[in-house]
Structure 1
Amino acid sequence: MKTLLVSRALPDSIMSALANHFDVTCRDTTQPMDLDECRAALAGYDVVLPTLGDAFGPDAFTGEIRAMGLANFGVGFNHIDVGAAHAAGLIVTNTPGAVTDATADTAMTLILMSARRAGEGERMVRAGDWTGWHPVQMLGLHVSGKTVGIIGMGRIGQAIARRCAAGFGMKVVFWNRSAKTIDGAEQLDSVADVCAAADIVVTAVAANAETKHIMNARTLAAMQAHAILVNIARGDVVDEAALITALQSGQIGGAGLDVYEREPLVPDALRAMENVVLLPHLGTAALEVREDMGRMAMENAIAIAEGRTPPNPVSG
C-alpha cells in the first residue's frame, strides 16, 4: 500500500476513506508545513496531500524526492511552486469545482456585510451602545441595482456574477486576462476601468505572479469614493498597505476581506477600522464542501499513486 502524508486533518469521513487506499500519516497540528517538513514529506512519502500555506516553494524540491505527486486540498495552489515540482518529476493537482458555490456565497456575505455595515452594527449591539432605531442610523450602501465589478471571470467569478445579477438586479462588469463572453455581463479593457465603473469590486482571480497586487495604489485610486472592495481570492492579489492607505484617507468606502497578504497576520490598521469586514478565511468552510474537496483530492491522490493521469492536474 502506498504511503500518504496529509498535511492537516480533513473531515473524519475523508480520513476514513483515505485509509482504505493508503497507509496514511496525518500531522497532529493545524499549522502549515514549514520548508523542512515539506522536504521531509517529499523524501518520505509516495504522495503528499498539502493544504493552504504549506511551504512547497522552489527550495522544497532540491533534496531527495520519493513522492510521485502533490494532491492539493483546495483550488488555490500559490503555496506550491508548480514549475519546480514538475521539474522534479512530480504531478500537482487541485480541487476546482467543489469550492465554486461556497466561495461565491462568501463573496455575497462580504458584499452585504460591508454595504449594510453589519459587522459594525453587531459590535454596537454587543457593546450595549445601541440606543434604538432612528431614521438616519448607520446608513449604508443599498446593493440592489448597483454595479458590481469582478476581477477574474473564472468559475467563481461567474458564480458571483449570477448571484449579483439574478438576486440583486446588479449590472455586472468584469476584467479577465482573456476575452470571454458572459451573458448579461460586460468585459472592460482593464482592471482600472472596472474599478472606475463599479460600486462594489470583487477580486476572484487565481493567485500567481501576474495577479500579485493586481489591486494596488493605482487601481484603488480608480475606485469611486463610496465603493467597496471585496477579496475572496488570495491575500496577495491586494496590496494591503495600499488598501490601508485608501481606506484611511477615505479614498474608498470600505472593504470586506476573507483572505490576507500574510495570513494569519491581519494588520492592526485593518482591525481598527469600522468600515472593514474581516473574516478568518471562511471561503469554503462548510462540512459538505470540505468533504467534496476531500473526495476530489483523494481521487487525485489515488490516480497519482496508481500512475494514472489524475482528474485535476495543474499545468505550469
Structure 2
Amino acid sequence: MSENNPTRLLIARKVPAVVASRAEAEFHAFVTESDMDSWSVVDFCKKHDVPAVLIGKKSGLQAEHIAALPSTVKIIANASAGFDHLDVAAAHARGIVVTNAPDALTECTADFSMLLVLAACRRASEYERIMRKGWGKSFGMTEMLGTRVNSKTLGVVGFGRIGRAVAKRAQAFGMHVIYTDIGRAAPSLENGATFYASLDDMLPHAQVLTLHVPAGSVPLMTKNEFERLPAGAVFINAARGGLVDEDALYEALTSGRLFGAGLDVYWNEPHIDKRFAELDNVFLSPHMASATIETRDQMGLTALDNVAAVLDGRPALNQV
C-alpha cells in the first residue's frame, strides 16, 4: 500500500494463491492471512478508502456494517453463489453493487450431491468404518444391504443451475427425475424431468429427495414434509442447513421413515447436532461441496472479474 499504488481491493477472507496473486498485481489488493470479522472490514475500508471488498461468511456485512462503510466502496464481491451473509438491500440502498459467483460452483456441487446420494443409498459410511476397524467378518446375502440408485425417482427441490446439473447426473445413473420450483422450467431445460407445481404434491413420489434452494426464514423440511415422503426414502442436503428442521430429520431417520441421509450442511454450522454423528444411516461431510482446487480458484477469479468490471465502469458480470 502506497500513495503511488493505492489499494483498490480488500480481500477479507483467505483465498487460493492464484487469486491472491492476481488481486495483488491487478488491484494492489490487501489480502488477509486469516478471515477478518465484519467490523475489521469496516475499519480497514475507512482507513484506506478502498473501492472494492471481497468478503466471506465471517466477514459478512449486515445493515449496521454497511451503514458504517465509507462512500468510497463501490462493490462488495462474494466468491460464492450464496450471499445470505450480506444485507443486499442495505448495500443497494447505498448504491453499492453486490456480486456473487453462481456458475463457479455448479459442477462440483452437483458432483458432490451425487456422491451424497450414492453414499447414503449404499451405506458408504458404515462400510468405511467396518474396513477401518479391520473387517474380519464376511457378510451374508441378507446383511448390510443398501438400496440401489438405478431406477429410483429423484425429487429435486429447486431446478436452477445446480438442480439441473444434479438431474443430468442422476439420469445417467438411470434415475427418473421429478422437480419442483416456483415455476416450470423451459422444456429445453427439463431434459425429460417431470414438473410438480408444489413440494407437497411432489414429495410422495420422491424416493430420493435433494434440496437446491436458498434458505428462508423458516425451515422448508419439517415433520409434515418428511412424513409425506414414501417410506424408506433417502434425504440429501448440500444446499443450506437452515432448510431443515433437524429435530424432524432426526425423528425421520430413527423411526425408519427415512432409509438414510447424506448431509453436507447443518443448522448451526460449524457445530453439528451430535445426534447425527451417532447414526449409522447418515453420511456426513463438513460443508465441502465446492471444495476442489479448480472450483475454489474459479470462485475467487470470478469475484475478481466482477471487481474489475465495476471499477472500470462496466456492468458487473454477476450482479445480485
Q: TM-score, normalised by structure 1?
A: 0.92
Matched position secondary structure for 1:20: helix
From 170, 185, 193, the equivalent of 1:185 is 193
Alignment of 1:169-248 (within 5 A): 169-181=174-186, 182-209=190-217, 212-248=218-254
Partner residue, 1:135: 141
Letter matched to residue 10 of structure 1: V
Aligned to 2:83: 77
Task: Evaluate the alpha carbon distance shift between residue 37 and residue 250 of structure 1 in structure 2; reply closer, same or farther with a 3 A threshold.
Answer: farther
Write out aligned runs for 1:243-282 (5 A). Answer: 243-282=249-288
**How far apart, in 2, do the equivalents of 1:234 and 1:12 lie?**
27
Residue 148 of structure 1 contacts residue 164 of structure 1 at CA under 8 Å; is this kept in 2?
Answer: yes
From the superposition, tell whether residues 285 and 191 of structure 1 become closer, same or farther in structure 2 (CA, over 3 Å): same
Compute the RMSD of aligned alpha carbons: 1.7
Q: Distance in 2 between matches of 1:301 and 1:12?
A: 18
Q: Aligned to 2:29, what secondary structure does the other structure show?
A: strand
Counterpart in 1 of 2:132? 126
| Partner residue in 2 for 1:113 | 119
1:38 Cα deviation from its structure 2 partner: 4.1
For 1:13, the equivalent position in structure 2 comes to 18
Structure-1 residue corresponding to 2:42? 39
Instruction: Tell me if the contact between 1:202 and 1:231 (Cα under 8 Å) persists in the aligned partners.
Output: yes
2:168 to 162, 169, 177: 162
Return the offset for 1:123.
0.8
Give structure 1 regions of 4+ aligned residues with deviation exceeding 4 angstroms. Answer: none
Change (3 A) 1:59 1:249: farther
Q: Is the 8 A contact 1:52 1:74 kept in 2?
A: no
Q: CA deviation at 1:22?
A: 1.3
Query: Structure 1 residues 72, 289: closer, same or farther in 2, change over 3 A?
Result: same
**Structure 2: gaps of 5 or more residues:** 1-5
Q: CA deviation at 1:234?
A: 1.5
> What is the TM-score when the length of structure 2 is the normalising length?
0.91
SS for the counterpart of 1:162 is helix
Structure 1 position 98 matched with structure 2 position 104: yes
In 2, the alpha carbon distance for the partners of 1:191 and 1:90 equals 36
1:58 aligns with 2:63: yes
In 2, Cα distance between equivalents of 1:53 and 1:260: 16
Quick one: distance in 2 between partners of 1:20 and 1:53? 25
The Cα shift of 1:308 comes to 2.2
Match of 1:299, SS state, is helix
CA deviation map 1:212-267 (0-9, x unaligned): 41122221121122111101111112222221222222222211111112211111
Amino acid at match of 1:48: V
Report SS of the residue matched to 1:21: helix
Distance 1:24 1:191, change over 3 A: same
Amino acid at match of 2:271: L
- Cα distance in 2 for partners of 1:227, 1:52 equals 33
| Distance in structure 2 (CA, Å) of the matches to 1:261 and 1:48 | 27
2-structure distance, mates of 1:70, 1:24:
14
| Structure 2 letter corresponding to 1:27 | T
How many Å separate the matches in 1 of 2:46 and 2:176?
Answer: 51
Q: Distance in 2 between matches of 1:122 and 1:130?
A: 13
Which residue is 2:27 aligned to? 22
Corresponding residue number in structure 1 for 2:314: 308
Displacement of 1:192 after TM fit?
2.1
- Deviation string 1:181-210 (CA, Å, 9 cap, x unpaired) is 31211111211222211110000112344x
Measure how far apart 1:271 and its partner are. Answer: 1.0
Instruction: Verify the 8 A CA contact 2:231 2:258 in the aligned structure 1.
Output: yes
Task: State the Cα distance separating 1:176 from its structure 2 match.
Answer: 0.4
What is the identity percentage for the equivalent residue pairs of Structure 1 and Structure 2?
A: 36
Q: How many residues align?
A: 309
Q: Do the aligned residues in 2 keep the contact of 1:85 with 1:92 (CA within 8 Å)?
A: yes
